[in-house]
Amino acid sequence: MDQLFVGSEVYVSSGRGPYADGSTYGPLQGIGDSQRSALLELLARLGADCFESREALDADVCRVRQWNTIYAELDALLRALPFSAVNGSPTYFIVDYGNGQHKIECEASEYFEPTVLNAIQVVLRRHSSTWEVMLAGGPKLGPQQALSVFPDRVVPHWSNAQWYGDA
Task: Classify domain 61-163 at the CATH class level.
Answer: alpha beta
Q: What is the 3-state secondary structure (H, E, C) of 29-46?
A: CCCCHHHHHHHHHHHHHH
Altogether, the residues listed in the chain come to a count of: 167
3-state secondary structure of 81: coil
DSSP assigned state of 131: -
Domain edges within the chain: 3-52, 61-163
* Phi, psi (deg, nearest 5) at residue 13: -120, 165
| pTM strictly above 0.75 | no
Distance of CA 36 to the CA centre of its chain: 32
Residue 104 neighbours by CB distance under 10 Å:
20
Type of residue at 165: G
Q: What is the pLDDT of residues 94-140, one digit of tens each?
A: 988 766 668 899 989 899 999 999 999 999 999 877 888 999 887 77
